[in-house]
Amino acid sequence: MRTTDAREETLHPGRLVSSIVGGRRPEDAPGGRISSLNPARTGDVVAEVALGDAGTFVEACRAAREAQKEWASVPAPIRSNSIKQIGRLFEANKEPLARLVTREIGKTYTESLGEVQEVIDTCDFFTGEGRRLYGQTVPSEMPDKQLFTFRVPVGVAAVITAGNFPAAVPSWYIIPALACGNAVVWKPAEYSAAIGDAFARILLHGGLPEGVVNVVQCEGPVAFEGLERALEAGLVDKVGFTGSTEVGREVGALCGRHLQSPCLELGGKNPLVVMPDADLDLAVEGALFSGFGTAGQRCTSLGTALVHESVYEGFLNRFARAVGEAPIGDPTQDVLYGPMLGERFAERFEGWLDLVHDHHTLYGSTGTGRITDANPREGFVGEPGAGIYCHPTIVSGVTEDDELFNTETFGPIVNVAGFADLDEAVRLSNAHGYGLSAAIYTRDAENALRFRERNGAGMLSVNNSTSGAEAHVPFGGNGRSGNGSRLSGIWVLDQFTRWQAMNWDYAGKLQKAQMDVIDLPADPDFRLPD
């Protein structure tokens, strides 16, 4: 197969994007070719993508397997120097990469800059971690013996990510995996292929040896088949997956068959509780950003605002006004949100609008579904017909029995439901079975602390958005949102290293644990005088 060197290229738009295996680009496209389109202007082709097939995925895992041992033998502080260089390259390329994020997936430019900043923050954190990666010395129960623990890289990590955070979320996996001495095979979303490619080239120019990072541009089911074959061949030691709950279950089952526990970051139906003592304007601001930022296409997006009945009308009126007045449209302008990530996201979103029933009342826009010249939104910024835009929708009167209450509706839609007291708010905040993030707006510390204790989400906010996690605190969910694995900060180290224990005996004779222990006899009958 003919290949070219992936390092001998520079970022430029409208280019052909392909996989990178062992530092080289296969020139064929066994998985076919697709165009990645700008969702804000679908006439703008961001990249032509040559797709790989399951065989490409397996080859990439093989290249990773070959490169990993040598990479693991590079001292961790030196590995982290690469992470530092990569971080500086992301910094130097922040604006072009952010522009590409806006162009390929339609995120507002401000959010895209934040997205790249999150990559830089992650690199900064793991630059330091290479000089820690601490193990422990542990006392033994026997004399002349010492116990130690070491963090050992897992080997090859296969990472499959979604395109709504096409740079930040991949960095949460890839950067720590590399710092810990693993090699990586990464499959970016096919609708964010150009961002994936740009990201990969920054990594390659940061000084990583060939084969340490490999990228497979392919469709989801193809990656699944490739992963199945690579696991079967013993080429993958850890799987990281960010995506839907449905696919996460499949990935979990596949890994389970190979006695592996994947890192799963799945969907959410994140609640935002508004207590009677809340600052309502602040709560509305939080709900607006949580629910409609990134057009509601974050796994941490607000699903249902749970509002105390005494402030229900007040909150709803202000929320409806804020959403009604929010500028929506061209993501290069100052808007709340831009287009959907792509056509299939808009189609799926329109399908969820069928879950709205007669007992619900809608607010937030002049229409529902697609924003077009025939179904316009007042104040739309730009040309609606040029891209894939959807109206924001607030659905009031949602109850726990509604499908809308229990379904992740990835898009610009927010439910509003009422509650009578904190017990009911807590129950409703857990009732959907997801457990990613949850927020409470209150001025009362007791409400906040009780909510924290009793809500099952992995991430809680008090008087802040359901989204907006920082790069150095544990990110992840429970229940339908994941298997309890955590990314970011020191917590992700447990995903990409395994603990190894060692005992070292210098007694010069065999000492048997639990048998040759020193006995310090006590006097069980001792009593203090009355």
- List residues near ligand UN1 by CB under 6 A: 118, 164-165, 168-169, 298-300, 467-469
Residue type, 438: A
Residue type, 357: H
Residues sharing a CB contact under 8 Å with residue 314, sequence separation 6 or more, in sequence order: 280
Annotated catalytic, 255?
no
Residue closer to ligand UN1 by CB (options 59, 111) is 111
Starting from the edge strand earliest in sequence, which strands make up the sheet with 361-363, in order? 361-363, 393-396, 413-419, 302-308, 270-274, 437-441, 459-462
Residue closer to ligand UN1 by CB (options 76, 462) is 462
Q: C-beta of 502: minimal distance to ligand UN1 in Å?
A: 37
Cα 133 from chain centre = 23
CB contact at 8 A, 97 and 194: no
Residues sharing a CB contact under 8 Å with residue 305, sequence separation 6 or more, in sequence order: 271, 272, 274, 287, 291, 315, 319, 414, 415, 416, 417
Q: C-beta of 436: minimal distance to ligand UN1 in Å?
A: 8
Burial class (CB in 10 A: 0-12, 13-18, 19+), 221: exposed
Q: C-beta of 118: minimal distance to ligand UN1 in Å?
A: 6
Residue closer to ligand UN1 by CB (options 19, 290) is 290
Residue closer to ligand UN1 by CB (options 230, 469) is 469
3-state secondary structure 350-398: HHHHHHCCCCCEEECCCCCCECCCCCCCCCCECCHHHCCCECCEEEECC
- How far apart CA 185 and CA 213 sit, in angstroms, is 6
> 35 to each of 40, 46, 100, 389, how far by Cα in Å?
15, 7, 15, 19
Residue closer to ligand UN1 by CB (options 61, 169) is 169
350-379: string of b/e by CB count within 10 Å (b at 16+)?
eebbebbeeebebbbbebbebbeeeeebee
Q: Which of 265, 343, 390, 446 is catalytic?
A: 265
**Tokens 């990201």 — which residue?**
199
Q: C-beta of 468: minimal distance to ligand UN1 in Å?
A: 5
Q: Which of 123, 218, 299, 390 is catalytic?
A: 299
- How far apart CA 458 and CA 520 sit, in angstroms, is 44
Q: C-beta of 246: minimal distance to ligand UN1 in Å?
A: 16
Annotated catalytic, 180?
no
Residues sharing a CB contact under 8 Å with residue 235, sequence separation 6 or more, in sequence order: 58, 61, 62, 64, 65, 156
- How far apart CA 115 and CA 192 sit, in angstroms, is 14
Residue closer to ligand UN1 by CB (options 52, 248) is 248
Residue closer to ligand UN1 by CB (options 406, 464) is 464
Q: Partners of 160 in the beta sheet?
A: 187, 241
Residue closer to ligand UN1 by CB (options 22, 268) is 268
Q: C-beta of 300: minimal distance to ligand UN1 in Å?
A: 4
Q: C-beta of 460: minimal distance to ligand UN1 in Å?
A: 13
CA atoms within 13 A on the CB side of 488: 18
Q: C-beta of 474: minimal distance to ligand UN1 in Å?
A: 12
H or E segment and range at residue 121 = helix 109-129
Residues annotated as part of the active site:
265, 299
